[in-house]
Structure 1
Amino acid sequence: MSADLAKDTPTPPTSLRGAARGHVEAAVRTGLLTGRFIPGKAVTLRGLAADLGVSPMPVREVLQRLAAENALEVKANGRVQVPDMTPARFDEVLKARLLLEPELAERALPFLRSKDIRDLQKIDDDIDACLVSGDAESYMRLNHAFHFLIYQASRSQVLLPLVDSLWLQFAPFMRTVYGRVGTASLEDRHKEAIQAMKTQDATALKSAISADIEDGMGLLGKAILDASGPA
């Protein structure tokens, strides 16, 4: 794992132990969401601790927490890794996203302001540039930022953590997908979602989010799994 895992992470809390744990958690979550961790490849305590400049203790705490969220798994021999993606697991994650994310978007709609929509447009412009350049890691980071700018406006204390956990579970696999097929063929429904937010059309917003999930994850992910089996 390279040292750039720690870049662009939020400022950690003030307590020393809390600072280390917050730093590690932000870095590991970013690594999962941008595909720096590969499904099936071991994640080592010592390696992560060295990369992030901390002791193994906060790394262990963070990995245990992420294992409880199903983003990582701990083998009987103590090995920690990103779970392999299977067709059954993929279908469950996809169905859960289709159930929860349109609902979150609808709940967020009354709270989204003009500035939020301008910010979303800027993010989407940057995403378009990534798709052209083939920068898959930046695409994944920006795509997450786009969706969660919307979802966090919902102020949900129940659905939002569930969706956050789902993204941690599918992102490493999707990074392998983009590595195989590239980004030039990717399409999103972000512009449709932005237009629905401008007109306060909840039905159109839910439809755009559902279609975005189906197009961005569903079609490509299923095609790769069907062609080659588990990642």
Structure 2
Amino acid sequence: MTVDNQPVVSRAQRETVQDRIYNEVRNGLMFGQFAPGQKLKLRALAKDAGTSYLPVRDALGRLVAEKALHLLPNRTIAVPELSREVVDDVWRVRIQLEEFATLNAVKNLTKGDLSALNSIQKEMSKKIAKGAHLEQLKSNKAFHFAIYEAARSPVLIGLIENLWLQAGPYISFTRNMKDDSKIHFHEEVLLAIETGDAKSAANAIKSDLMQGLHLIRAMLEEAEANET
């Protein structure tokens, strides 16, 4: 049965589609797929997802409630704009939590986990060499969370994921820059994990995050200078 040529979706189906769209947009935000200030077109997203308007609206509404997206006065949903204050605040807390997660994860990582991390790192290196920036950011997220999840703390992972949601638009701001520093820091992390040195692994994660923060600050300062 259809109404106005739109398929009628059962409640159970609608929830399943909503969850899928929610997770896809959420993951996209976390690894920098969406740019700061970008407006999300609900009907275009619905068309891409092969679904109706309502589950997309509901999925994005969940992300607005989580403050990962903003609802503008005209009811448009958008990615948050750039802010140096937010960047500094988010990265300060990220560093604390991600260092802590790494310290607790190293003792739980197996040889199989280390092999998987090495594979992610090799793929990331290839993507950087090819200039596949968005794919590189996906690999970067996979690398970090493969470590953090070994801390075996759902609460900690939830907090880190929330911060990555807020950090994603800023990460996207730098995605067209060629930066090989992540490879260096990730290699330091891998070496520390291999030797069971949790403190060195955490320090390398901190250096990785600090380097990203420095790049974002520099680009924000350049953007502000160009506006004046």
TM-score class normalised by the smaller sequence: 0.7 to 0.9
Shift of 1:124: 0.5
For 1:224, give the aligned amino acid.
M
Q: What CA distance in whole angstroms lies between the structure 1 residues aligned with 2:224 and 2:149?
A: 34
TM-score (norm 2): 0.87
Corresponding position: 1:74 with 2:71: yes
Matched residue, 2:197: 201
1:37-116 to 2 correspondences below 5 Å: 37-116=34-113
Matched residue, 1:220: 215
Q: Which runs of 5+ in 2 are unaligned?
A: 1-11
Shift of 1:209: 0.7
Deviations 1:114-156 (A, max 9, x none): 1010000011111111222211001100000000011112121
Q: Which moved more, 1:94-103 or 1:169-178?
A: 169-178
Structure having the higher Rg: 2
Q: What CA distance in whole angstroms lies between the structure 2 residues aligned with 1:98 and 1:35?
A: 18
Shift of 1:35: 3.2
Matched residue, 1:158: 155
Residue 20 of structure 2, aligned match among 11, 20, 23: 23
After superposition, the CA RMSD in angstroms is: 2.0
Shift of 1:34: 4.0
Q: What CA distance in whole angstroms lies between the structure 1 residues aligned with 2:115 and 2:35?
A: 34
Q: Which moved more, 1:36-45 or 1:83-92?
A: 36-45
Q: What CA distance in whole angstroms lies between the structure 1 residues aligned with 2:123 and 2:73?
A: 43
Relative to structure 1, the CA distance from residue 163 to residue 107 in structure 2 (aligned partners, 3 Å threshold; closer, same or farther) is: same
Shift of 1:17: 2.7
Q: What CA distance in whole angstroms lies between the structure 2 residues aligned with 1:185 and 1:102?
A: 18
Relative to structure 1, the CA distance from residue 89 to residue 188 in structure 2 (aligned partners, 3 Å threshold; closer, same or farther) is: farther
Q: Is the 8 A contact 2:99 2:202 kept in 1?
A: yes
Q: What CA distance in whole angstroms lies between the structure 1 residues aligned with 2:31 and 2:99?
A: 22
For 1:47, give the aligned amino acid.
A
- The size of the alignment, in residue pairs, is 215
Shift of 1:77: 2.0
Relative to structure 1, the CA distance from residue 95 to residue 142 in structure 2 (aligned partners, 3 Å threshold; closer, same or farther) is: same
Q: Is the 8 A contact 1:105 1:150 kept in 2?
A: yes
Q: What CA distance in whole angstroms lies between the structure 2 residues aligned with 1:212 and 1:28?
A: 25
Q: What CA distance in whole angstroms lies between the structure 2 residues aligned with 1:110 and 1:119?
A: 16
Matched residue, 1:189: 185
For 1:71, give the aligned amino acid.
A
For 1:214, give the aligned amino acid.
M
Shift of 1:86: 0.7
Q: Is the 8 A contact 1:102 1:209 kept in 2?
A: yes
